[in-house]
Amino acid sequence: MDYAHQLLEREKVFRDPVHNYVHVKYQVILDLINTTEFQRLRRIHQLGTTSLIFHGAEHTRFAHSLGVYEIARRIIESFEENWLSTQPGDGLWDDSEKLVTLCAALLHDIGHGAYSHTFEHIFGTDHEKITRDIITSHTTEINHVLERVAPDFPEKVASVISKTYPNRQVVEMISSQLDADRMDYLLRDAYNTGVKYGTFDLSRILEVMRPYKDGICFEMSGMHAVEDYIVSRFQMYQQVYFHPVSRAMEVILNRLLQRANEIFSEEGLKHNPQTPYLLLPFFHHDFNLDDYLQLDDGVLNTYFIHWKRYPDDLLSNLASRFIDRKPLKSVKFDDSTKDLLPRLREIIEQSGFNPKYYTATDNSFDLPYDAYRPGKKQIQLMQNDGSLIELSSISPLVRAISDKQTGDNRFFFPREILRPEENVDLFQPEYDEFNHHIRNDQLIK
């Protein structure tokens, strides 16, 4: 039997708190899981700074990647039983696409790094490009495994993740408005954060999901299960992903990496005993794939702990705030109150805090269901006559939240400004003015 179809002597299962079991039958899938690059995901948290707010959220990209694989496997199993193609062009499931789908589902997040999104912003890395590089580079164990299937197989897997693969059913199973990726992270994040409103009926959605010639749709009888998913996603963004304290910790992390970048990018500090050697390629903007794969959350946290004692006051203070979980305070603002922000920054600077590092504005907005943006695939329901209808056109519940951005704008500042007893060097008039604006001028905590 060729490697692409080689089965394990006995099916392997991974116990999983969300899916109960993750089933692995193919040798290639187990070999991918055992690669150095995939095992690295055990050391990358799924939710970054969110674990500093929801203490149970210690789950990893490794667990999530296995979960996405398992959901994709279940979808394919359903398609094989109910919607298997019998002739070319019939719009049903072509089972020759099975392995490329499973591999893409497993590897879709392989390029995520330590504190991924914040790190990308400071150092210009791109986890999507790095995902493709890990899959296609001849230097990686993952590439060696995939090439055993076929010489062009790594490129095929990468093209699924980059959404250029010609079979839209395969692409939409991994990346769409209702895909294996989103379904797993919503359920997994809800479970680990301890919230209840992120849950939905996964079994029902998989039961009503079906292929058609242009992608994946859902049977009309499953509309309410799909609605439940949309509402769950909406609630998770509002209550977990956009949590103001998590965003405050992201701001501190951003400023910490920004300050470190300013200090350690200087050639003269190369031989300082506290120089973070694993980060130097990034500070010098000259890193390769191997440099990237050396980093994980633990590496960065270790540097942050060392930097608590670094002689630069800004770096040591920001490192302490991050490691010891001392978040910034924040208030909402809008167009009617944003003119107050320059004055608030002045007062903060007068108190001894550099506003470049201790203030920030952040906006977090999400579309619960994006129905009509050009190029964005809509969720389609299949009616009894075989015709398709877009979800929000028939669901009043989804229509009520479609294309409506939800979220807020926030201004972040040191919480010490609100409490003069915490030894902030601020005269009483400035303290009173700051608190007056925060409490009385529609800047809502």
**What pLDDT is recorded for position 445?**
47
- What's the pLDDT at 374? 39
Please count the other Cβ atoms lying within 10 Å of the Cβ belonging to residue 255: 26
Let me know: does 127 contact 111? Beta carbons within 8 Å.
yes
Measured between alpha carbons, how far apart are the two ends of the chain, in Å?
A: 64
pLDDT at residue 267, rounded to an integer: 56
What pLDDT is recorded for position 319? 97
* CB 186 within 8 Å of CB 236: yes
Q: What is the dihedral of CA 266, 271, 272, 274, to 10 degrees?
A: 100
The tens place of each residue's pLDDT in the chain, 445 residues long, gives 699 999 999 999 999 999 999 999 999 999 999 999 999 999 999 999 999 999 999 999 999 999 999 999 999 999 999 999 999 889 999 999 999 999 999 999 999 999 988 899 889 899 999 999 999 999 999 999 999 999 999 999 999 999 999 999 999 999 999 999 999 999 999 999 999 888 999 999 999 999 999 999 999 999 999 999 999 998 898 889 989 999 999 999 999 999 999 998 875 455 566 678 899 899 988 999 999 999 999 999 999 999 999 999 999 999 999 999 999 999 888 888 888 899 999 989 988 899 999 999 987 755 555 544 434 678 999 999 999 999 988 999 888 877 666 668 899 999 888 765 555 565 567 767 777 777 765 554 4
pLDDT at position 19 is: 98
| C-alpha–C-alpha distance, residues 101 and 54, integer Å | 33
Predicted local distance difference test score (pLDDT) of residue 443: 59
pLDDT computed for residue 405 by the predictor: 64
Q: What are the residues facing 217 on neighbouring strands?
A: 210
Please state the separation of Cα 304 from the chain's center in Å.
22
Instruction: Single out the residue of 26, 113, 15 nearest to residue 66, CA to CA.
Output: 15
For each of the domains in the chain, give its residue range(s) and CATH number, in order of start. 3-242 (1.10.3210.10), 261-365+407-440 (1.20.1250.30)
